[in-house]
Amino acid sequence: MKICIYGAGAIGGYLGVQLARAGADVSLIARGAHLAAMRERGLTLLAGEETHTVHPRCTDDPAELGVQDYIIITLKAHSITGVIEKMQPLLGPHTRIVTAVNGIPYWYFYKHGGQYENSTLESIDPGGRQWREIGAERAIGCIVYPATEIEAPGVIRHVYGNNFPLGEPSGEITSDVQRLADLFVAAGLKAPVLDRIRDEIWLKLWGNVCFNPISALTHATLDVICTDPSTRALSRAIMVETQGIAETFGVKFRVDVERRIEGARKVGAHKTSMLQDLERGRPMEIDPLVTVVQEMGRLTGVPTPALDSVLAMVTQRARIAGLYDGVSAPTDPRALAVA
């Protein structure tokens, strides 16, 4: 079983170490100082009191690797369109694409059923290129719950969590998704195979759609956003709008709004990924986390006044800083940064 991790940053590097330790034939695609360090010294994972170093194949040229059984995409979601052509040598007739990214994935409406079946979303897949050129039929959904960070080039620190729920767009438990789940479990990860993967996608997005842009606007950590009356109320308003959109697509939420906010509050003084990107001068994931929800609201006719206001402000802030990840943004080499 040949596995390529496309974007071996914090999450991709964590997966790479764990899968390599489990004996998987894993290759990592990275770039820059991180790639140079992995080639020279291997990839090191710091997990609690334990340190593990592995020496997988590492490259910035996918053509060196050949056809893969699974490609696990751990890039920032807005980076995927920019690597479609480079990804082609990895694709064979049976290759599966595992979307371990934040937000709504490009394949969302594949085998969805109903009037939106096979629709594409311009905010996350401009022109439907990912759908056509990577292939919606290849997709396996994956939600990323662990928190990790690159401590130094070639060194990943695991902060918490090991849960990577998986699921076919159709809801079937296929041999492909089961094989991958079994490998994840052998690597010490949790990988439940879900028959309603979209429910889990929205559950995570439910927090990202409000907490991320609010944090980028206020520089507040999760505990502050969830306890300050004004930002908590704004978060709730955006979440209620988001829930209304998701439920029109048949999504079921297994917790209510207040419980979801409380769960975020308990995480503590954590900076969201959008705030971290802003502080580090990296393009922010506005479209995959926020604009796409607005677009889906337009599709369903669900009004989103709170989301619209916050989206307008965070987009303008990102444009001023030169960090907008939108489809109309000029090409920026930083847009290909790994997660």
Strand partners for 59:
29
Percent of the chain with pLDDT over 70: 96
How high is the pLDDT of residue 334? 31
* Mean predicted lDDT score pLDDT of the chain: 93
How high is the pLDDT of residue 327? 52
Q: Is 121 exposed, middle or buried (0-12, 13-18, 19+ CB in 10 A)?
A: buried
**Window from 79-88, 245-254, 256-265, 330-339 with minimum mean pLDDT:** 330-339
Distance of CA 271 to CAs 185, 211, 261, 274, Å?
29, 10, 15, 8
Domain boundaries, the chain: 2-195, 198-321
d(CA 45, CA 141): 25
- Is the per-residue pLDDT at 236 higher than 70? yes
Residue 24: pLDDT band (50, 70, 90) is very high
111 an active-site residue?
no
Among residues 2, 86, 204, 271, the one annotated as catalytic is 204
Q: Indicate whether this model's pTM tops 0.85.
A: yes
Beta strands 2-6 and 70-73 are parallel
Structure token digits, residue 170: 């159709």
Domain 2-195 has CATH 3.90.230.10: no
CATH architecture of the domain with residue range 198-321:
Orthogonal Bundle (1.10)
Residue 325: pLDDT band (50, 70, 90) is low
Residue 78: pLDDT band (50, 70, 90) is confident
How high is the pLDDT of residue 324? 80
CA gyration radius, the chain: 19
The string of pLDDT tens digits covering residues 296-316 is 999 999 999 999 999 999 999
How high is the pLDDT of residue 77? 84
DSSP assignment letter at 324: B
Chain centroid, CA 12 distance in Å: 11
- Is the per-residue pLDDT at 332 higher than 70? no
